[in-house]
Structure 1
Amino acid sequence: MTLAVRYTAARTLDTAPALSAPPGPGEVELAPAYVGICGTDLHIYHGDMDGRVHAPAVLGHEMSGRVVSVGPGVEGWRPGDAVTVMPLRWDDTCPACLRGHQHVCRHLDFIGIDSPGAMQQRWTVPAATLIRLPEALALDRAALVEPTAVAVHDVGRAAVRAGEKVVVVGGGPVGILIALVARAAGAEVRVVEPSAHRRLLAEELGLPAWHPADDEVSELVRQWTGDAGADVAFEVSGAAAGVDTAVDVLGVRGRLCLVAIHSRPREVDLHRFFWRELTLVGARLYDRSDFEKAVDLVADGTIPAERLISRVVPLTQAPAAFEALEGGGDVMKILVACTDDAQGAAV
């Protein structure tokens, strides 16, 4: 019997027999090895997405694993192949899709939210969602490819260029990944984060970090930039104060990239946008090229994925892992090991 972790009600998860079906035409059956728990999963766990997520629901979309079997008509994949999944299905008919922006399809199926996800021991998905992994890349590290693809997309949306000064507001997993990808693009980066544990990790990765209460962050940025202000700010905190900070640090014609999901409207200093000719861009999800670049960045060590993995737990302990993340503390990324072999290979 194979198992799955299911969301059944606010702050309630259970483990139950997996109901994944054998692969049909154009589908593949996977054995997930590792599944990361992300901020969106926590939103679901809190009950904030009950209008979209229909319990009981199998969670998880940050994953790595191997192909078990392929359905009729599937070519190019065979059992044992190491893969991750770009967890998006779109209709290819809406205005967004017809303009080439399938990742923001009006009827997007985000697998792991709108349909069953990866936190199970067998998972059937469309073959078109597979992304090949290098055999030399450890599967625990490969579980961070999906959030790295988010960061690649965000840095691309902000059009970060070499030599620019970038402030990342929010030093959680995605914030740190954005900072690393921006640095790889040649930018100078600072991270703003209240957690001492996360600031220390950022510093150890060569990313200078400030507490938001350290003097005025905008004053620190002024000193750092010679009174010019930052070229780009990323809002990754999801907090009203984070929005204020991200706007305040920008110089003339600076770009603010909104990454965090804000569950309620926020006040924004629009006069500052007018006065300094600022630009606001949204960044949501990724496309296949973002995923492929993310694989390369994790595989070549540009993204030190092992440093971001705080803990690996077996599938049966996933509910406790959600509780640990909800409580904050010295935690960055927790992975759920879906098989005994995966657990034994964990960092």
Structure 2
Amino acid sequence: MPKEIIFPEKNSFVLGSYDDAPLQPDEIRGPTVATLISQGTELGWADGDAFPIRPGYAAIFRVEEIGPEVTGIRKGDLRFCMGYHRQTQQHPAIYTLPVPEGMAPERALLARLMGVSMTTLMTTRARPGDKVVICGAGPVGILAAHNFAIGGYEVSVVEPDPLRREQVQKSGIAAVHSAMPLDDPDYQGKVALVVDCSGHEAAVLDGCKIVRKMGEVVLVGVPWRQYANLSAHEVLNAVFFNFVSLRSGWEWEIPVRSRDFVWEELLEGYNNAPHDSFGGFERALKWLNAGHVNTEGLVTTVRPDDPSTVYARIRSREIAEPFIAYDWESL
């Protein structure tokens, strides 16, 4: 039987067995090559209360079986999907994307993390050429910085950890600060958008203090726990007197797939959305394939046969690289 990673209870990580479901006419299936670990999210799930959890964020798999309604996909193709940490992937074809020819699976996985902040790029009022500050240079923050840099914004990153500052600079982002440059006249009142990828209250407050009038502070990082002893009044004061637009950066603000209005399909629902999540993933794959993000030395792979050790190493920050992928071909 194929294997998958399961969180059966709080802070417990095991490799269990499962059965593949019958293949549906619109689905494709095949062995997993690699899956991406979303470190903060998965540790947040492990610290939660709802179990069991089958974690996973993104997967690359090789197509072996194709449903009769699927067209344009061949056996042997590598496909990107939002999949569990498991030995096989099975998804409706519409919820998969082709991996560009020659791209390493571990690199292609990063398109999923780029998608987290891609929604903010699609919805912000800031325009190319504006100053954008990213708070936090973890996996999501590094790629958020590149999303906006590729989009033509003047991007800076704030990160207190020296290793992470070094990593984001190595990836190609030059302007990096150890703290929010509140007293720098080049920044104070001139930042159009702060994207918080840290989930830290103090970073959000600093963002509200530095943005220009009517500027945006978008919360992309999940506030898994309290980090600072700040009052709500401090944030409210900064938001009110600086005319700040403080909002969620929930990536699912846009639909997973756009669907046009069709009269005959009216009751099945439609959104007429100009942007969707998979459009963002597709864009990210193109940018990664074009070499816009330098990931050399920033990606590592681990075996999935001992997940307890993997997550313990992540929690203790023994793994230096920001991007970690399970290598399912190593089983």
The question of a shared fold, defined as TM-score above 0.5 by the shorter chain, is answered with yes
Aligned to 1:103: none
Alignment of 1:41 with 2:7, yes or no, is no
Equivalent residue of 2:120, what SS?
Answer: helix
1:194/1:277 CA distance change after superposition, 3 Å: same
Q: Which residue of 2 aligns with 1:200?
A: 166
Matched residue type, 2:279: S
Q: Distance in 1 between matches of 2:177 and 2:13?
A: 36
User: Residue 195 of structure 2 is aligned with which of 224, 234, 241?
Assistant: 234
Structure 1 portions without partners, runs of 5+: 88-116
Is the alpha carbon distance of 1:160 and 1:328 closer, same or farther for their aligned partners in structure 2, counting shifts above 3 Å?
Answer: farther
Conserved 8 A contact 1:36-1:62: yes
Question: Matched residue pairs, number?
Answer: 299
Q: Partner letter of residue 73 of structure 1? A: E
The answer on 1:294 being equivalent to 2:284 is yes
Contact conserved, 1:235 with 1:257, CA < 8 A, in 2? Answer: yes
The aligned residue for residue 114 of structure 1 is none
1-side partners of 2:215 and 2:250: how far apart?
Answer: 20
Question: For 1:180-219, what aligned pairs fall within 5 Å after superposition?
Answer: 180-204=146-170, 205-212=172-179, 217-219=181-183
Residue equivalent to 2:269: none
Distance 1:307 1:181 in 2: 20
Alignment-mate amino acid for residue 181 of structure 2:
V
Find the counterpart in structure 2 of residue 109 from structure 1: none
1:8-157 alignment, distance < 5 Å: 8-38=8-38, 39-46=40-47, 48=48, 50-51=49-50, 54-55=51-52, 57-85=53-81, 87=82, 117-157=83-123
Alpha-carbon distance in 2 for matches of 1:207, 1:32: 36
Overall identity of the aligned pairs, in %: 24
Deviations 1:79-120 (A, max 9, x none): 2111111x3xxxxxxxxxxxxxxxxxxxxxxxxxxxxx4211
Q: Which residue of 1 aligns with 2:310?
A: 321
Q: Which amino acid is 1:334 matched to?
A: I
Quote the offset at 1:339 in angstroms.
0.9
1:207 Cα deviation from its structure 2 partner: 3.0
Q: TM-score when scaled to structure 1? A: 0.80
Give the match for residue 257 of structure 1.
218
User: Which runs of 4 or more aligned residues in structure 1 lie more than 6 Å from their structure 2 counterparts after TM superposition?
Assistant: none
SS, match of residue 58 in structure 1: coil
Structure 2 match to 1:7: 7
| Kept in 2: contact 1:173–1:308 (CA 8 A) | no
Cα distance, 1:284–1:10 mapped onto 2, change above 3 Å: same
Unaligned runs of 5+ in 2: 253-276
Once residues 260 and 3 of structure 1 are traced to their aligned partners in structure 2, the CA distance between those partners, rounded to angstroms, is 31
Q: Alpha carbons of 1:153 and 1:306: their partners in 2 closer, same or farther (altered >3 Å)? A: farther
Shift of 1:306: 4.0
Letter in 1 for 2:19: L
Deviations 1:187-208 (A, max 9, x none): 1111111211101112222332
CA shift at 1:264, angstroms?
Answer: 6.4
Report the alpha carbon displacement of residue 217 of structure 1 after superposing the two structures with TM: 3.1
For 1:45 and 1:30, the matched residues in 2 are separated by 28
How far apart are the structure 1 equivalents of 2:194 and 2:207? 5
Q: Give RMSD over aligned pairs.
A: 2.2
2:138 to 164, 172, 175: 172
Q: Secondary structure at the match of 2:194?
A: strand
User: Compared with structure 1, are the counterparts of its residues 156 and 74 closer, same or farther at alpha carbon in structure 2 (3 Å cutoff)?
Assistant: same
Q: Which residue of 1 aligns with 2:301?
A: 312
Q: Is the 8 A contact 1:36 1:60 kept in 2?
A: yes
Describe the superposition over 1:9-58 as per-residue Cα deviations: whole angstroms up to 9, x where unpaired.
11111112232224122222132211111121121122x2x33xx41x33
Instruction: Give the one of 265, 272, 275 matched to 2:241.
Output: 275
CA distance in 2 between partners of 1:12 and 1:270 (Å): 39
- Tell me the CA shift for residue 296 of structure 1: 0.7
Shift of 1:224: 2.7
